[in-house]
Amino acid sequence: MGAVNQLLSKDNVEVRRGRVDIHRDQAIVERFNRTLADRLFGHQYGVEMRLPEGQRSAEWGARLPAVVSALNNEVTWLTGKKPAKAIKEKLFQLNPQLLILDRLV
């Protein structure tokens, strides 16, 4: 067992992988990653514009915990719940509007 797997096992973290060729399984994670990047790097680019040419900012690392916490405590359109609450539930319903839109596409 590798070092990462040992660390995950120690903290009781379960890794779940999406099914091959089913993009919908990955959609929630991909959207979260996009929103996370928008919030982190939009601010960082503004900071870097004020730095001398060639210097880079690593401020995103310091901001990461606060941004993730904020995202986890905002109600999402997909579930109608805060991710922090939805993560604790084993099963929950998706937003009914999403199911209607999914059939139209």
The more confident residue out of 90 and 69 is 69
d(C-alpha 103, C-alpha 58), whole Å: 43
Q: Which residues contact 67 (CB under 8 A, 6 or more apart)?
A: 36, 39, 40
Helix pair angle (59-72, 23-49), 10° resolution: 140
The more confident residue out of 69 and 59 is 69
- Residue 9 tokens read as 């096992």
- Residue 74 tokens read as 């905002």
The answer to whether 24 touches 43, Cβ cutoff 8 Å, is no
What would the pLDDT profile of 20-46 be if each residue is shown by its tens digit? Answer: 777 766 777 788 889 889 888 888 888
Of 11, 60, 6, 10, nearest to 37 by C-alpha is: 60
